[in-house]
Structure 1
Amino acid sequence: MTIRNTPAVVRVPNFVAASHPESYYYSLLIQYKPYRNEAELLGEFNSARDAFLANEESLRQTNAYLEIYRERDRQLENAFAQVHAFQILEHAEPMELDHEEEVPYLPMNEDQFLQAKQSMNAGQKEILH
Protein backbone atom coordinates (compact mmCIF):
# COMPACT_ATOMS: atom_id res chain seq x y z
CA MET A 1 0.00 0.00 0.00
CA THR A 2 1.24 3.45 -0.84
CA ILE A 3 0.16 6.64 0.88
CA ARG A 4 -0.73 9.29 -1.66
CA ASN A 5 -0.01 12.97 -1.23
CA THR A 6 -2.92 13.95 -3.47
CA PRO A 7 -6.42 12.48 -3.57
CA ALA A 8 -7.28 10.12 -6.42
CA VAL A 9 -10.39 8.54 -7.83
CA VAL A 10 -10.37 4.89 -8.80
CA ARG A 11 -11.52 4.52 -12.37
CA VAL A 12 -12.52 1.25 -13.94
CA PRO A 13 -13.10 0.70 -17.65
CA ASN A 14 -16.52 -0.64 -18.61
CA PHE A 15 -16.39 -3.81 -20.66
CA VAL A 16 -19.38 -5.65 -22.07
CA ALA A 17 -19.42 -9.37 -21.26
CA ALA A 18 -20.85 -10.31 -24.65
CA SER A 19 -18.19 -8.58 -26.74
CA HIS A 20 -15.13 -8.66 -24.42
CA PRO A 21 -15.73 -11.50 -21.92
CA GLU A 22 -12.12 -11.95 -20.78
CA SER A 23 -11.63 -8.22 -20.13
CA TYR A 24 -15.04 -8.01 -18.43
CA TYR A 25 -14.30 -10.79 -15.91
CA TYR A 26 -10.74 -9.59 -15.38
CA SER A 27 -12.00 -6.09 -14.53
CA LEU A 28 -14.40 -7.63 -12.01
CA LEU A 29 -11.56 -9.57 -10.41
CA ILE A 30 -9.45 -6.41 -10.16
CA GLN A 31 -12.33 -4.51 -8.55
CA TYR A 32 -13.55 -7.09 -6.07
CA LYS A 33 -10.78 -9.58 -5.29
CA PRO A 34 -8.05 -8.45 -2.89
CA TYR A 35 -4.54 -9.02 -4.22
CA ARG A 36 -0.97 -7.86 -3.71
CA ASN A 37 0.35 -8.84 -7.12
CA GLU A 38 -1.74 -8.82 -10.29
CA ALA A 39 -0.47 -12.31 -11.13
CA GLU A 40 -2.46 -13.62 -8.14
CA LEU A 41 -5.78 -12.71 -9.75
CA LEU A 42 -5.94 -15.68 -12.11
CA GLY A 43 -4.23 -18.12 -9.77
CA GLU A 44 -4.13 -21.57 -11.38
CA PHE A 45 -6.89 -20.75 -13.86
CA ASN A 46 -6.39 -20.14 -17.57
CA SER A 47 -9.13 -17.54 -17.97
CA ALA A 48 -10.48 -14.63 -15.96
CA ARG A 49 -13.99 -16.12 -16.23
CA ASP A 50 -12.87 -19.37 -14.58
CA ALA A 51 -11.02 -17.46 -11.84
CA PHE A 52 -14.05 -15.22 -11.27
CA LEU A 53 -16.42 -18.19 -10.96
CA ALA A 54 -14.00 -20.05 -8.67
CA ASN A 55 -13.96 -17.05 -6.33
CA GLU A 56 -17.75 -16.63 -6.30
CA GLU A 57 -18.23 -17.54 -2.63
CA SER A 58 -15.49 -15.27 -1.31
CA LEU A 59 -16.67 -12.41 -3.55
CA ARG A 60 -20.22 -12.82 -2.23
CA GLN A 61 -18.96 -12.72 1.36
CA THR A 62 -16.97 -9.57 0.66
CA ASN A 63 -20.00 -7.99 -1.01
CA ALA A 64 -22.20 -8.81 2.01
CA TYR A 65 -19.61 -7.19 4.28
CA LEU A 66 -19.52 -4.06 2.10
CA GLU A 67 -23.33 -3.81 2.12
CA ILE A 68 -23.11 -2.54 5.72
CA TYR A 69 -21.16 0.47 4.47
CA ARG A 70 -23.53 1.04 1.55
CA GLU A 71 -26.45 1.22 3.98
CA ARG A 72 -24.58 3.75 6.12
CA ASP A 73 -23.81 5.77 2.98
CA ARG A 74 -27.51 5.78 2.06
CA GLN A 75 -28.43 6.91 5.59
CA LEU A 76 -25.88 9.71 5.43
CA GLU A 77 -27.12 10.84 2.01
CA ASN A 78 -30.72 10.84 3.29
CA ALA A 79 -29.69 12.92 6.29
CA PHE A 80 -27.98 15.49 4.05
CA ALA A 81 -31.03 15.59 1.78
CA GLN A 82 -33.31 16.25 4.76
CA VAL A 83 -31.08 19.01 6.10
CA HIS A 84 -30.95 20.72 2.71
CA ALA A 85 -34.72 20.38 2.29
CA PHE A 86 -35.31 21.99 5.68
CA GLN A 87 -32.91 24.81 4.81
CA ILE A 88 -34.84 25.48 1.63
CA LEU A 89 -38.13 25.49 3.54
CA GLU A 90 -36.76 27.83 6.23
CA HIS A 91 -35.71 30.40 3.64
CA ALA A 92 -38.67 30.03 1.31
CA GLU A 93 -40.82 33.08 0.89
CA PRO A 94 -44.54 32.52 1.32
CA MET A 95 -46.43 32.42 -1.94
CA GLU A 96 -49.40 34.64 -2.40
CA LEU A 97 -52.25 33.16 -4.36
CA ASP A 98 -54.40 35.64 -6.23
CA HIS A 99 -57.23 33.21 -6.78
CA GLU A 100 -58.26 29.76 -5.70
CA GLU A 101 -57.68 27.06 -8.22
CA GLU A 102 -60.83 25.27 -9.18
CA VAL A 103 -60.61 21.51 -8.78
CA PRO A 104 -62.59 19.63 -11.41
CA TYR A 105 -65.15 17.11 -10.22
CA LEU A 106 -64.41 13.74 -11.81
CA PRO A 107 -66.86 11.06 -10.74
CA MET A 108 -65.64 7.46 -10.70
CA ASN A 109 -67.59 4.24 -10.62
CA GLU A 110 -67.20 1.56 -7.95
CA ASP A 111 -64.70 -0.52 -9.98
CA GLN A 112 -62.47 2.49 -10.62
CA PHE A 113 -62.59 3.38 -6.92
CA LEU A 114 -61.61 -0.16 -5.84
CA GLN A 115 -58.76 -0.21 -8.37
CA ALA A 116 -57.49 3.16 -7.14
CA LYS A 117 -57.80 1.99 -3.53
CA GLN A 118 -55.74 -1.15 -4.24
CA SER A 119 -52.96 0.91 -5.81
CA MET A 120 -52.60 3.15 -2.74
CA ASN A 121 -49.52 2.93 -0.53
CA ALA A 122 -49.82 2.20 3.20
CA GLY A 123 -49.88 5.88 4.21
CA GLN A 124 -52.66 6.69 1.75
CA LYS A 125 -54.74 3.71 2.92
CA GLU A 126 -54.30 4.81 6.54
CA ILE A 127 -55.66 8.28 5.74
CA LEU A 128 -58.63 6.80 3.89
CA HIS A 129 -59.70 4.70 6.88
Structure 2
Amino acid sequence: MVQYITPRLDASFAALSDATRRGVLEQLGRGDASITELAEKFHMTLTGMKKHVGVLEQAGLVTTEKVGRVRTCKLGRRRLEEEAAWIESYRQLWDTRFDALDEIVEELKQREKVDGRKK
Protein backbone atom coordinates (compact mmCIF):
# COMPACT_ATOMS: atom_id res chain seq x y z
CA MET A 1 0.00 0.00 0.00
CA VAL A 2 1.17 3.55 -0.67
CA GLN A 3 2.76 5.44 2.23
CA TYR A 4 1.16 8.76 3.12
CA ILE A 5 2.33 11.73 5.12
CA THR A 6 0.22 11.16 8.23
CA PRO A 7 0.25 14.69 9.70
CA ARG A 8 -0.93 16.13 6.40
CA LEU A 9 -3.75 13.59 6.09
CA ASP A 10 -4.67 14.13 9.74
CA ALA A 11 -4.88 17.89 9.22
CA SER A 12 -6.94 17.53 6.06
CA PHE A 13 -9.41 15.04 7.47
CA ALA A 14 -9.72 17.03 10.72
CA ALA A 15 -10.47 20.14 8.68
CA LEU A 16 -12.99 18.29 6.51
CA SER A 17 -14.67 16.59 9.47
CA ASP A 18 -16.71 19.68 10.29
CA ALA A 19 -19.80 20.59 8.25
CA THR A 20 -19.18 24.33 8.63
CA ARG A 21 -15.64 24.02 7.29
CA ARG A 22 -16.86 21.93 4.35
CA GLY A 23 -19.45 24.64 3.73
CA VAL A 24 -16.76 27.32 3.83
CA LEU A 25 -14.76 25.42 1.21
CA GLU A 26 -17.86 25.10 -0.94
CA GLN A 27 -18.56 28.82 -0.56
CA LEU A 28 -14.98 29.76 -1.41
CA GLY A 29 -15.23 27.53 -4.48
CA ARG A 30 -17.73 30.07 -5.78
CA GLY A 31 -15.47 33.02 -5.01
CA ASP A 32 -13.30 34.73 -2.43
CA ALA A 33 -14.99 36.05 0.70
CA SER A 34 -14.08 37.99 3.82
CA ILE A 35 -14.28 36.38 7.22
CA THR A 36 -17.14 38.77 8.00
CA GLU A 37 -19.09 37.59 4.94
CA LEU A 38 -18.48 33.96 5.85
CA ALA A 39 -19.53 34.55 9.46
CA GLU A 40 -22.78 36.16 8.30
CA LYS A 41 -23.45 33.39 5.78
CA PHE A 42 -23.02 30.70 8.46
CA HIS A 43 -24.71 32.69 11.23
CA MET A 44 -21.70 32.67 13.55
CA THR A 45 -19.49 35.07 15.40
CA LEU A 46 -16.34 36.46 13.82
CA THR A 47 -14.29 34.64 16.46
CA GLY A 48 -15.93 31.32 15.62
CA MET A 49 -15.39 31.79 11.90
CA LYS A 50 -11.76 32.83 12.44
CA LYS A 51 -11.20 29.52 14.25
CA HIS A 52 -12.75 27.53 11.41
CA VAL A 53 -10.73 29.42 8.80
CA GLY A 54 -7.59 28.88 10.89
CA VAL A 55 -8.09 25.10 10.84
CA LEU A 56 -8.61 25.19 7.07
CA GLU A 57 -5.57 27.41 6.66
CA GLN A 58 -3.35 25.09 8.74
CA ALA A 59 -4.43 22.21 6.49
CA GLY A 60 -3.47 24.26 3.44
CA LEU A 61 -7.01 24.25 2.10
CA VAL A 62 -7.55 28.02 2.50
CA THR A 63 -5.32 31.06 2.32
CA THR A 64 -6.07 34.45 3.81
CA GLU A 65 -4.83 37.92 3.04
CA LYS A 66 -5.35 40.96 5.19
CA VAL A 67 -5.81 44.29 3.43
CA GLY A 68 -6.52 47.05 5.91
CA ARG A 69 -9.08 45.71 8.34
CA VAL A 70 -10.50 43.09 5.98
CA ARG A 71 -9.17 39.52 5.92
CA THR A 72 -10.10 37.87 2.62
CA CYS A 73 -10.22 34.09 2.29
CA LYS A 74 -9.67 32.05 -0.86
CA LEU A 75 -9.18 28.42 -1.66
CA GLY A 76 -5.64 27.26 -1.04
CA ARG A 77 -3.41 25.96 -3.79
CA ARG A 78 -3.17 22.54 -2.23
CA ARG A 79 -5.39 20.02 -3.88
CA LEU A 80 -6.71 16.89 -2.21
CA GLU A 81 -4.95 14.35 -4.46
CA GLU A 82 -3.23 12.60 -1.57
CA GLU A 83 -6.46 12.35 0.40
CA ALA A 84 -8.35 11.13 -2.68
CA ALA A 85 -5.66 8.49 -3.31
CA TRP A 86 -5.95 7.29 0.30
CA ILE A 87 -9.73 7.01 0.00
CA GLU A 88 -9.42 5.32 -3.41
CA SER A 89 -7.11 2.63 -2.03
CA TYR A 90 -9.76 1.71 0.55
CA ARG A 91 -12.55 1.87 -2.03
CA GLN A 92 -10.63 -0.64 -4.15
CA LEU A 93 -10.04 -2.85 -1.13
CA TRP A 94 -13.74 -2.90 -0.28
CA ASP A 95 -14.74 -3.43 -3.93
CA THR A 96 -12.51 -6.51 -4.01
CA ARG A 97 -14.01 -7.82 -0.78
CA PHE A 98 -17.59 -7.24 -1.95
CA ASP A 99 -16.82 -8.94 -5.27
CA ALA A 100 -15.53 -11.97 -3.35
CA LEU A 101 -18.65 -11.93 -1.18
CA ASP A 102 -20.85 -11.79 -4.32
CA GLU A 103 -19.07 -14.89 -5.64
CA ILE A 104 -19.69 -16.76 -2.38
CA VAL A 105 -23.38 -15.78 -2.37
CA GLU A 106 -23.75 -16.93 -6.00
CA GLU A 107 -22.05 -20.22 -5.18
CA LEU A 108 -24.38 -20.77 -2.23
CA LYS A 109 -27.41 -20.00 -4.42
CA GLN A 110 -26.25 -22.55 -7.00
CA ARG A 111 -25.71 -25.19 -4.29
CA GLU A 112 -29.17 -24.46 -2.91
CA LYS A 113 -30.72 -25.03 -6.34
CA VAL A 114 -28.84 -28.28 -6.83
CA ASP A 115 -29.72 -29.51 -3.31
CA GLY A 116 -33.39 -28.60 -3.89
CA ARG A 117 -33.50 -30.71 -7.06
CA LYS A 118 -32.05 -33.75 -5.28
CA LYS A 119 -34.89 -33.91 -2.74
Is the pair's TM-score, using the shorter chain for normalization, greater than 0.5? Answer: no
Question: Higher helix proportion, which one?
Answer: 2
TM range (shorter): 0.3 to 0.5
Greater C-alpha radius of gyration: 1
* TM-score, reference length from structure 2: 0.40
Higher RCO, 1 vs 2 (CA within 8 Å, ≥6 residues apart): 2
- Higher strand fraction: Structure 1 or Structure 2? 2
